[in-house]
Structure 1
C-alpha cells in the first residue's frame, strides 16, 4: 500500500524551523514528558492538550525522525537536526520523504497538475495522488498539503501564490532529475506513455540500451490494441517520444536516422534511463536482490553460457536467477519476491512470484529448474498447492531439460478442471529464447494461452436464472 506520512500539528507555519522539535528531543535526554513539555512551550503557548503529547510525536514517528520507544532521534532525524540552517534541514527532510515516504508521488502530482495548466489545490492534489496510487487519503486530511508546504520551505517549489512553480535547480538537488522526467511522461498521450515505459523497462536489460522496435510495438499491440494503430506508430508515438528527448530511432546502417515503427531498433535516451526501475516496476528494489539488480543487463547469450556451457554450480545458479528475472520482465510482469533462490537449492532451482495488470490483474508463480533429467509429475504437482496458498492464477515451470509425459498430462488436467493455468517451458524453448530474444518467448506463451483456452472451454459456465 502506498501512503504518505501523516502530519498532525506539524506544518511549517506552526513549527517554523524543522530542527526545533528535534533539538527539543535531543535536549530531553530520553525523557518523553520533558520533550512533550518542550514542544508545548515552543509551539502551543504552554497549553496542555494532545497536540504536544500525541500529535507531534506521532508525526515524528510517521515521518521516520523519532524513535518513540527510546525517545531518541533516528539517524535521519539526527541528520536533519544537525543541518547548518533551517533550509538545509528542510531539504534533508524532504529528500527523506521522497526516498522513503512516497514523496516522489507528491512531487510528480504537482508537476502533472501544472503541466496540464490546473491549479494545485487540496482537492486537485488529492485526486492526482490517488491517480498515482496513493491510498488512505481521507476527505479531511491535510497530510499532502503539509508535506508540500515543507517542500516549499525547502525551496523546491514557490508558494501557492505562484501555483507551486518548481525551482528546477533545488528540485534536482533534492530529488534528482527523476521527477522532472516523470512529469514529461505525464505530458504525453496515454499511448506514448505506455510505449515509453515499455521501452524503459526493456532497455534496462540491454547493454547498449537499444531494443528492437518490433518487441515494443508487439507488446503494446497485444496488451492495449485499442490504443495503438500499427500503421501510425511512427507518426503518433515515436516522433513524439523523440521530440521529448526520451527515445532515438536507430538502424544498423544509420545509427541516428531509423524509421522506427516495427523496423530497426529504438534507443532509450539518458533522460528516459534516468527514471529508476522501481518507479516503473513496483517493488523492484525490494523484490530483486541487490546482487541481481546490478546484473540485469547481462546479455542473453551470456546467460545461455552460464546455464548450458558452465561447470560451476554458482554460475549456473546465477544464470538461473537471471533467466527467471529476464523472462518475467520480458513478459511485462513485475517481480514481487524470490520465494526460493538458487543458492538455497544447491544452485538447481529458483522460485519467483510476479504480477501483471494486462487488462486484468494476474499473479504468477514461476519456478526455474536447471537439472539433467526430466521434471517429474511430483515437482509440477507441488506447485498446485503453493499456487492455491499464494492465490496465484498462473503456474509457470521453466526447465533447461524437459518434462515427463505424466507431468505434461497433469498440467493439462489441472488447467482444464480448475481456475489455474499452467505454462510449462521446456529447455528447447529456453534455448530459443536465449538465442533469439523476447519475441520467441512471447510467441510460445501466446500459443500456450490459446491451448489453455481450449482446455477451459470444456469447463461449465454458471448462468444466472
Structure 2
C-alpha cells in the first residue's frame, strides 16, 4: 500500500525551521520528558500543549527522522540538521520524503491539476493522489496539503496569490535531480518510448553510462513488452524520436547501421540526470550508500577488484558484480541478506525481483573462491529460497562448481518449483570483458535447459497418477 507520511499539524507555520525540533531532540536525548518540555516551550509557549508530547514525535517517527527506543535522531535527520539554513533543511527533508515516502506523488498530482487547469484544493489534491495510487487519506486529513506546504517552504513550488502553486524548475532540479518539466516530458512520451528509456537508464546505471548496443535494449523491451512495440519500426518510432528530443544520442558512425537492432546508443545527460529512483523506486533504500557511490566503476575496475589480493577489494568487487548482473538481467535489487563484510569479504547474498511478463523473486549468492563451490553451498540456498518464497536461485562464483553441486541443482530443479542459474568464473570473466550480452545469452541458455529439465514434472493430476 502506497501511503503518505503523517504530519499531525507539523506544518511550516507551526515549526518554521525543521532543524529546531531535531536539534532539541539531538541535544536532550534520551531524556524524553525534557525533550517534550522544550518542544512545548519553543513551539507552544509552555502551554502544556499535547502536540508537543504527541504530534511532534509521531510526525518525526512517521518521517523516519526519529527513533523511539531510545529517543534519538536518525541518519537522515542528521543530514537535515547539518543544513546551512532553514530552506536548505526543508529541501533535505523533502528530498528524504520523495526518496522514501512517495513524496513525488504530490509533484505529479499538482502537475496534473495544473495541466487540466483545475483548482487545487484539499479535496481536489486528495482525489488526484488517490487516482495515482495513494491510499489511506481520510476526509479530514491535511497530510497531503502539509507536505505540499513544506515543498513550497523548500522552494520547489511558488505561490502567486490564489493561483495554484507553480513549480520552480531550477530548485526542483537541484533538490531532486529531476525538474517538473522533465517529469512531465517523460510522462507525456508514448508508452513504448517510456519503456525504452527506463530500460536504457537502468542498463546505463550498471555500465557507467557510455556507449550501449541498441540490440541489448531492444531485445529486453521485446522480451518483456512485445505487444507495445512494432519490431520493424523501433528505430523509426522509438529511437529516432528519443534522439531528436534529447533523451539519447546516436554516434554518427553507427546511427544508421544495418537493420533496426544494429548500431550503438548513448544515454544523454538529460536521461542520466534523472535519478535512478525514477526507474527503480526502491534503489536508494536497498543499496547501501557506500556501495551506491561506487556502482559507476567500470567493468575493468570490478575485474581488478575481484582479482585483488586485498580481501576488502574482493568483497567490494563481489557486491558490484552482483548489482551489475541484477541490473543487466532486468531485475530490481530488493534486499541484502548478507554483505561481503559480514562473511569476511568472501561472499554476498541479496534478493532481487523481476516483472518480466510475470513476477519472480531471485536469491543471489556470489562467492569469491579459488576452487569449486560445493554441494553444501548450493544446498544451503535451497532452504533460504523456500523460506523467502523465491523462484530462482542464482549462484555466481569466480571459481567453478563441483560436479556434485551441478547434479544437486539439476535434481532440485526437476523435483521442485525452484530453478537454478549457475554462473561460473569463465562466464563472469567474459561478462566483464564483453558486456551484458554474454550474461543474457547465458541466462537464456539456462532457461532453455531448465525448461527441458522440468518437462518431466506432472502438469495435471492425471499425469501424476
| TM-score tier (shorter) | 0.7 to 0.9
Residues 16-71 of structure 1, C-alpha deviations (whole Å, 9 max, x = no match): 855799599799993635744775669xxx7x886666345533553467787899
Partner of 1:342: 340
Partner of 2:350: 352
Partner of 2:196: 195
What is the rounded CA distance, in whole Å, between the counterparts of 1:93 and 1:462 in structure 2?
A: 55
Normalising by structure 2, what TM-score?
A: 0.81
Shift of residue 220, structure 1, vs aligned partner: 0.5
Shift of residue 311, structure 1, vs aligned partner: 4.9
What is the rounded CA distance, in whole Å, between the counterparts of 2:136 and 2:373 in structure 1?
A: 46
Q: 1:64 to 1:396 in 2, by over 3 A?
A: closer
Q: 1:104 to 1:304 in 2, by over 3 A?
A: same
What is the rounded CA distance, in whole Å, between the counterparts of 1:38 and 1:451 in structure 2?
A: 68
3-state DSSP of counterpart to 1:221: helix
Q: How many residues align?
A: 453
Normalising by structure 1, what TM-score?
A: 0.81
What is the rounded CA distance, in whole Å, between the counterparts of 2:350 and 2:69 in structure 1?
A: 36
Q: 1:112 to 1:400 in 2, by over 3 A?
A: farther
Q: Does 1:371 align with 2:366?
A: no
Alignment of 1:203-218 (within 5 A): 203-207=204-208, 209-218=210-219
Q: 1:187 to 1:414 in 2, by over 3 A?
A: same
What is the rounded CA distance, in whole Å, between the counterparts of 2:68 and 2:312 in structure 1?
A: 44
Which deviates more, 442-451 or 166-175?
Answer: 166-175
8 Å contact kept, 2:318–2:348: yes
Shift of residue 461, structure 1, vs aligned partner: 3.9
What is the rounded CA distance, in whole Å, between the counterparts of 1:310 and 1:418 in structure 2?
A: 38
Partner of 2:36: 32
Q: Does 1:156 align with 2:160?
A: no
Partner of 1:272: 271
Shift of residue 407, structure 1, vs aligned partner: 2.1
Which runs of 5 or more residues in structure 1 are unaligned? Answer: none
After superposition, the CA RMSD in angstroms is: 4.0
Q: Does 1:229 align with 2:230?
A: yes
Partner of 1:245: 246
3-state DSSP of counterpart to 1:162: coil
Q: 1:443 to 1:147 in 2, by over 3 A?
A: same
Shift of residue 454, structure 1, vs aligned partner: 3.0
3-state DSSP of counterpart to 2:355: strand
Partner of 2:316: 318
8 Å contact kept, 1:112–1:186: no
Partner of 1:182: 183
Which deviates more, 240-249 or 104-113?
Answer: 104-113
Partner of 1:452: 450
8 Å contact kept, 1:30–1:71: no
What is the rounded CA distance, in whole Å, between the counterparts of 1:354 and 1:271 in structure 2?
A: 27
What is the rounded CA distance, in whole Å, between the counterparts of 1:191 and 1:443 in structure 2?
A: 24
Q: 1:19 to 1:195 in 2, by over 3 A?
A: closer
Which deviates more, 123-132 or 2-11?
Answer: 123-132
3-state DSSP of counterpart to 1:458: coil
Which deviates more, 32-41 or 413-422?
Answer: 32-41
Q: 1:149 to 1:215 in 2, by over 3 A?
A: same
Which runs of 5 or more residues in structure 2 are unaligned? Answer: none
What is the rounded CA distance, in whole Å, between the counterparts of 1:340 and 1:67 in structure 2?
A: 24
What is the rounded CA distance, in whole Å, between the counterparts of 1:415 and 1:113 in structure 2?
A: 52
Shift of residue 358, structure 1, vs aligned partner: 1.9
3-state DSSP of counterpart to 2:232: helix
Which deviates more, 158-167 or 64-73?
Answer: 64-73
Which deviates more, 365-374 or 172-181?
Answer: 172-181
What is the rounded CA distance, in whole Å, between the counterparts of 1:198 and 1:417 in structure 2?
A: 34
Alignment of 1:299-448 (within 5 A): 299-307=298-306, 310-448=308-446
